């Protein structure tokens, strides 16, 4: 069995980029902090002014729209900041959601909606808080870059700096003679130390700034998205249960009808025939023999019908030997030659095996009844946690999932197992039926995606 797991996608790796990853990250982080500094100043200045103006004029009502305006401006800056942080944090962009006024709300209500939205106030707060942080990170980064560059490049320009006899520097203070040689060594060493630590310092600064943005700007949207995901999962589970219940109810009704129309009638007839034979034995042994022959035929037919019925409930070969053997048996009973393409399969969860089996059985039965196909092909593949079943034929097509067709019940059955069914069957053919069935945890909730 081969398991193909999807390659884990690193957001930063989505685009093909050149250069050493560490250097690339240094570039991203530096740019982030450098650009962040003027942005923070503008944000701080604009937001603080509008907000203070708004609040201080609240008592003459004009302040209200100004305050709301401040919130909208904060939102704009927040959008920009959210777009900037994924590169630093190496994680996907989290789209923000804001409270929307109901479409039929009055103009006041519409205007005041941002004031009732927690995220709006967080945006504003971030616009203020980011300012001191941006100053600190900016200063640190500029200092580090300057010392690193100036120190490492000292040999190139050191000679051109005029040093007077009164000149005192750190080299002297450390007790060395301040000559061109010692000055160069000293500056290069200091520059090298700063250059080596530069990526870590820059990374730390960028992470600090982006981390604050992440906490204040994307934590709430993240939480909301997670809750929405859970609700969707709960809905899916509910639908699946409903589909299972409905599929089971339909199957039970059909089974009852099949037993009533088939074996039950035949057994009654058999009893009647045997009764007649009993009577005939004395008077007309020849007629009795004929009646017994009929009774025997009835008994055989009953057995055949019961066999078909129980194959339809839980085929023994599937239970005993698994999907591959059961599919081979189905193919052997099919009306047209069936080509099988089934890799070695491990035994799967009973529900997955049964669902796959019934997809194949139902598709082949449908083919025999309606398609006029002369060949068919059944392929079963497992990739990761999904079993993929494809049944195709060369018939005249026209199969669909509408109510009353065998395939409609099949779709229910698949939903019940957490799977999905696709039918492609244009008029004139060919027909292709494809099902995907989860192999594990068929009744539980799957791992959250995304």
Binding site for other proteins (CB under 8 A): 296, 299-300, 303-304, 307, 310-311, 316-317, 319-321, 325, 328-329, 331-334, 337, 339
Q: What minimum distance in Å lies between the beta carbon of 303 and other proteins?
A: 5
Q: What minimum distance in Å lies between the beta carbon of 413 and other proteins?
A: 22
Q: What minimum distance in Å lies between the beta carbon of 307 and other proteins?
A: 6
Measured from the CB atom, the residue of 316 and 426 that comes closer to other proteins is 316
With a CB cutoff of 8 Å and minimum separation 6, the contacts of 309 are 255, 258, 259, 262, 263
d(CA 248, CA 313): 11
What sign results for the dihedral spanned by CA atoms 367, 368, 370, 373?
A: positive
Measured from the CB atom, the residue of 135 and 365 that comes closer to other proteins is 365
CB neighbourhood size of 154 (10 A): 20
Measured from the CB atom, the residue of 268 and 296 that comes closer to other proteins is 296
- Check: CB of residue 264 under 8 Å from CB of residue 228: no
d(CA 137, CA 201): 9
Output the CA angle 228-437-406, nearest 5 degrees: 110
Q: What minimum distance in Å lies between the beta carbon of 396 and other proteins?
A: 21
Measured from the CB atom, the residue of 118 and 316 that comes closer to other proteins is 316
Q: What minimum distance in Å lies between the beta carbon of 346 and other proteins?
A: 17
H or E element, residue 353: helix 350-366
Q: What minimum distance in Å lies between the beta carbon of 289 and other proteins?
A: 14
Measured from the CB atom, the residue of 329 and 411 that comes closer to other proteins is 329
What sign results for the dihedral spanned by CA atoms 446, 215, 25, 195?
A: negative
Measured from the CB atom, the residue of 213 and 373 that comes closer to other proteins is 373
Residue 359: which of 429, 404, 415, 306 has the closest Cα? Answer: 415
Measured from the CB atom, the residue of 99 and 333 that comes closer to other proteins is 333
Measured from the CB atom, the residue of 10 and 339 that comes closer to other proteins is 339
With a CB cutoff of 8 Å and minimum separation 6, the contacts of 348 are 322, 323, 356, 382, 387, 439
d(CA 202, CA 91): 18
d(CA 388, CA 381): 5
Q: What minimum distance in Å lies between the beta carbon of 345 and other proteins?
A: 14
Measured from the CB atom, the residue of 290 and 317 that comes closer to other proteins is 317
Q: What minimum distance in Å lies between the beta carbon of 317 and other proteins?
A: 5
| Strand intervals (E) in 336-396 | 338-342, 376-383, 386-393
Burial, 83: exposed, middle or buried (Cβ in 10 Å; 0-12, 13-18, 19+)? exposed
Q: What minimum distance in Å lies between the beta carbon of 252 and other proteins?
A: 22
Measured from the CB atom, the residue of 101 and 317 that comes closer to other proteins is 317
Q: Tokens 């398991």: give the residue.
A: 3
Q: What minimum distance in Å lies between the beta carbon of 332 and other proteins?
A: 4
Q: Is the peptide bond before 430 cis (omega within 30 degrees of 0)?
A: yes
Q: What minimum distance in Å lies between the beta carbon of 338 and other proteins?
A: 9
Residues recorded for the chain = 450
Measured from the CB atom, the residue of 334 and 363 that comes closer to other proteins is 334
Measured from the CB atom, the residue of 320 and 427 that comes closer to other proteins is 320
Q: What minimum distance in Å lies between the beta carbon of 302 and other proteins?
A: 9
* Cα distance between the two ends of the chain: 27
Joined tokens for residue 441? 């945890």
Burial 41-53 (b: 16+ CB within 10 A, else e): eebbebbeebbee
- The conformational region for residue 85 under phi > 0 = left, psi -120 to 50 = alpha, else beta, is alpha
């Amino acid at each position: 069995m081969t398991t193909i797991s999807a390659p884990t996608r690193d957001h930063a790796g989505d685009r093909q980029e050149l250069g050493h990853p560490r250097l690339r990250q240094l570039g991203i982080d530096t740019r982030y902090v450098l650009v962040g500094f003027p942005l923070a100043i503008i944000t701080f200045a604009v937001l603080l002014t509008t907000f203070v103006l708004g609040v201080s004029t609240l008592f003459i009502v004009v302040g209200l729209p100004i305050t709301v305006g401040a919130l909208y401006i904060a939102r704009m800056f927040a959008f920009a900041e959210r777009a900037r942080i994924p590169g630093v944090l190496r994680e996907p962009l989290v789209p923000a959601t804001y409270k929307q006024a109901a479409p039929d709300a009055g103009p006041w209500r519409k205007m005041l909606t941002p004031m009732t939205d927690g995220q709006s106030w967080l945006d504003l707060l971030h616009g203020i808080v980011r300012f001191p942080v941006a100053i600190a990170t900016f200063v640190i980064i500029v200092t580090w870059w300057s010392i690193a560059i100036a120190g490492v490049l000292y040999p190139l320009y050191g000679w051109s700096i005029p040093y007077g006899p009164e000149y005192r520097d750190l080299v002297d203070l450390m007790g060395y003679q301040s000559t061109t040689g010692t000055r160069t060594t000293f500056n290069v060493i200091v520059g090298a130390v700063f250059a080596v630590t530069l990526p870590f310092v820059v990374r730390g600064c960028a992470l600090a700034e982006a981390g604050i943005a992440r906490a204040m700007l994307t934590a709430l949207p993240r939480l909301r998205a997670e809750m929405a995901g859970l609700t969707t999962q709960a809905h899916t589970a509910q639908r699946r249960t409903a589909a299972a219940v409905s599929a089971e109810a339909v199957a039970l009704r059909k089974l009852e009808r099949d037993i009533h129309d088939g074996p039950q009638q035949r057994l009654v007839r058999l009893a009647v025939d045997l009764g007649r034979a009993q009577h005939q034995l004395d008077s007309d042994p020849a007629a009795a023999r004929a009646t017994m022959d009929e009774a025997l035929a009835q008994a055989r037919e009953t057995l055949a019908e019961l066999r078909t019925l129980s194959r339809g409930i839980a085929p023994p070969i599937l239970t005993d030997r698994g999907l591959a053997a059961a599919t081979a048996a189905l193919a052997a009973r099919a009306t047209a030659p069936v080509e099988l393409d089934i890799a070695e399969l491990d035994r799967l969860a009973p529900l997955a095996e049964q669902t796959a089996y019934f997809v194949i059985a139902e598709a082949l039965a449908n083919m025999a009844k309606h398609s006029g196909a002369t060949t068919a092909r059944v392929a079963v593949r497992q990739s990761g946690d999904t079993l993929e079943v494809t049944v195709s034929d060369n018939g005249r097509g026209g199969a669909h999932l509408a109510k009353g067709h065998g395939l409609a019940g099949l779709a229910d059955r698949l939903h019940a197992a957490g799977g999905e069914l696709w039918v492609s069957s244009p008029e004139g053919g060919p027909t292709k039926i494809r099902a995907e069935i989860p192999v594990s945890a068929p009744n539980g909730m799957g791992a959250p995606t995304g």
